[in-house]
Chains A and B, each alone.
Chain A
Amino acid sequence: MIREWFVVKMRGTEAILNSLVANKTKHIFGFPGGSIIPIFDELLNYEDRIRHVLVRHEQGAAHAADAYARVLGKAGVCLATSGPGATNLVTGIMTAYMDSSPLIALAGNVPTTLLGNDAFQETDMVGVTMPITKHNFQIRDPNEINSIISNAFTIATKGRPGPVFVDIPKDMQLKEVTKEKPVEKILGFNPNLKGHPEQVKRAAKMILEAERPVIIAGGGVLISNASNELAKLVESFNIPVVTTFMGKSCIDENHPLCLGMLGMHGRKAANYAVAEADVILSIGCRFSDRITGDVKTFAEKAKLIQIDVDSAEIGKNIPVELPIVGDAKNVLSELLPIMKINSQKNSAWSEKIKKFNKECNCHFDYSSHPIDPRKIIFELNKALKETDIVTTGTGQHQMFAAHFLKMRKPKTFISSGGAGTMGFGFPASIGAKVAKPDSEVFNIDGDGSFAMVIQELATCKEENIKTTQLIFNNSYLGMVRQWQEIFQNKRYSGVHLKRTPDFAKVADAYGLKGISVERESQISKSIAEAIKSDETAVLDILVKEESNILPMFAAGTRHSDMFGGCVQTKGVLF
């Protein structure tokens, strides 16, 4: 009772920002508009605690906050106005949803008195974001602000992470908080984080009894910070490990037992090892169609142990012998002590695998003119430091990066996997740089992808965010062109972008460093120049127009049907 005498009245906007600060928000990526003016006004009072990064399109804000979240393993926050501002976030929210990233998307809305009246810039964003968020809220009472925002953070980060959208009508920002409600307990949200001990024991037995075990490490390993435990498991028992696209960087890719990426554009070593395995331990992987190909023939010789924090992912696409619902790090920490270390275990199998893996490390230092895309990856591999971060757009360049780039430290490879969002890479590189200012951030992008978000050059310039943009410019939408070449008999439709624009000149127009690279001899020099530069550099690298990313298998086919690539063994390992 006594407390109420001294209640200092607080505006809704203050409650929102206090709550963000309390939830350790240090950066917000946003773009203002009519329905969010009060929050932007309040941001000025919080400049010492929260840095607002002004993007040039709301999609950029969402991707930047998403990448920020992925790099740091904590929630990333983006902010937009109502209506078109909020709908521009949608692609970014969906991207975060598909890749289980803890994105907090905040948007204004018209005052509650106008809700449902089709008022200016009104959209039912709660309805729009329902299928692409883990949860969403609309603030209807200023006294609930702290409760809702705190719960948004809890839901976004706990268990399997995912985006949470919070709709904030303008009057809720302006009204006073008269009697703040305590944080409401979320009754129906209790993610199971510890693996069932009996199941873990059974898993240990299965792994130890296996003759040809393989680990599939997915994005879940990165999310739960289980890289050390994974490496220990791999090394203690000589178990080969393949990573999904989302799992890339969860284990040092120079490790002789790391076979690299699995799936449609994966490495043959990885795909054939999975096809050959008798026991597969899957950690935080959801077996998307790009991984499995034909589900009936996927890993048909193997019994599957699946660890996932989301029980709905277990057995969703592939039948499971032994399910373990729990957080990857917890489960692996339970598993390791009950398995007696045996450095001789699997030595025959792992030696064979290592040998094949080595053969698969094909030479990709191609010398050619025009430039072979693999050459750029080759040069970047040499320039990359352990802690440097690589982001990508979506398309051929992304698969070149996933296939050939060797990442060493967790969370250094940030890309849109499930959603395959073109235009993700550039704003993601901005978010990554804000998250880790001491790391160099490289965005491997395509001319198509980069052009979709090119306006963020202004963000780099005005917010002083230094990144390096490597544009694999083949003047095509390369991946679609490749499919049209292979599956549509070269009937190219809607894919030829030609040579517009001149990206180096565009960079120049934004007051940034633009470098045109036409010869392979210039690649390493330009990368070095970009690294040395204090501001964002755009490398417009003209590559061979019709090069393909191979090997691959066609959608819905078998792993053994992979074609292309430098290793000619077809469908069998040994």
Chain B
Amino acid sequence: MSLVWVYAVRDGDADDPPAVSGVDGERPRVVAAGTLGAVVGTVADEGFDEAGLAAAMEDLARLEALARAHHAVVVEAGSAGAVAPVRLATVFRDDEAVVAMLRERADEFKAALDRVRGRREWGVKVYADTRAGGDDSPAPAPGDRPGTAYLLRRKADRDRGAAGRERARAVAESVADAAGTHAVDVRRFALQDARLSGRNEEMVLNATFLVDETQEAEFRAAVTGAGDGATVELTGPWPPFSFATADPP
């Protein structure tokens, strides 16, 4: 028995499935209904049923393999035209179920394809030293009153920390504003833990933008020119994962 993994939906007359391996090493194919085509792959039920997928989500190596394969197929699926990516780990029982879904949600997919046509997603992350304070002069330390000295030092540290965080936030917003000027839409992700980035600086912005292809040069220039004193990281282009739905997920 097998199951059907869905990668993405695109305008469906083209019968040229992506030429990359899918999540189960399979060759992706296209299931069409009306003017829409779902890029799908036949996967084993073992490992891809509900229990198998739930287990995969807890297994980093397996999760990574699934994510990278899913991403690669969606990238290929969108290489020739608009593509509406489907959430990772969406599995149907058979092609008939996929066709029924395409028919039922045709309007939604057409709207999604229209929204992202000619546009790509770009990630912008900003890292800043949130501890960097303005005034580094030590707090006055009356030697004969250690308790007061301690409290004053703590207060100075706290003030510096607040100023640093405030400045980092301002930098983040200035980058977001600069990028947003040349973008159609924006989504914000949770800030990534410093342990994941491996950086000393703290992430202060983790946003992703939907950018018209005609605006990409301006977008990139704006992002590159912003963020004085901070590290700005641009990723992409991504398939429009974050903009496949009208509202923020």
- Real complex partners, A and B? no
B residues whose Cβ falls under 8 Å from a Cβ of A: none
